């Protein structure tokens, strides 16, 4: 389950921000996890909760946005929606697609408590 590793990376980034920006607790962590990112959102939530004990992320509400996927079709030269990797182009039915959206995992923002 690579979500545990991803959760560790998110926690490390949040703790680095806490040190740099001098806040003590995160109230809300907002993430963007694209539908083509290959991340199981509930497993990521579980992993974040499991490793947050004793950190500035303990007790934080985790909000996750899941943007849809998109890809550039090299056959018909169009950007098309892509629900799942391996699906054909919605316009031409071809499979020569380069995902270009919905592949991200990123921290959007934090609501913090500085006291």
**Domains of the chain: total:** 1
Is 12 a member of any domain? yes
Q: What is the pTM of this model?
A: 0.87
Give tens-digit pLDDT for 63-75: 999 999 999 999 9
Is 83 a member of any domain? no
Provide the 3-class DSSP secondary structure of residue 29: strand
| d(C-alpha 65, C-alpha 74), whole Å | 28
Tell whether the torsion through CA atoms of 67, 26, 11 and 19 is positive or negative. positive
Is 15 a member of any domain? yes
Closest-CA residue to 48 (of 62, 35, 63, 33): 62
Give tens-digit pLDDT for 6-47: 999 999 999 999 999 999 999 999 999 999 999 999 999 999
> Which CATH number covers residue 30?
3.30.2320.50
Is 80 a member of any domain? no
CB burial of residue 24 (10 Å; 0-12, 13-18, 19+)? exposed
- Mean pLDDT value of segment 82-91: 94
Looking at residue 100, the DSSP 8-state letter turns out to be E
Its domain, for residue 107, covers 3-68+102-113
Give tens-digit pLDDT for 50-60: 999 999 999 99
HSE-up of residue 37 (Cα within 13 Å, Cβ side): 22
Asked whether the predicted pLDDT for residue 114 surpasses 90, the reply is no
Is 82 a member of any domain? no
Is 55 a member of any domain? yes
């Amino acid at each position: 389950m690579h979500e545990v590793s991803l959760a560790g990376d998110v926690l490390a980034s949040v703790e680095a921000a806490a040190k740099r920006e001098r806040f003590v607790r995160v109230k809300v962590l907002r993430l963007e996890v694209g539908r083509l990112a290959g991340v199981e959102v509930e497993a990521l939530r579980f992993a974040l909760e499991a490793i947050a004990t004793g950190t500035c992320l303990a007790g934080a509400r985790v909000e996750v946005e899941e943007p849809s996927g998109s890809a550039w079709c090299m056959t018909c030269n169009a950007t098309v929606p892509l629900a799942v990797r391996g699906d054909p182009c919605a316009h031409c039915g071809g499979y020569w697609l380069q995902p270009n959206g919905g592949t991200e995992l990123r921290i959007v923002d934090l609501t913090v408590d500085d006291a």
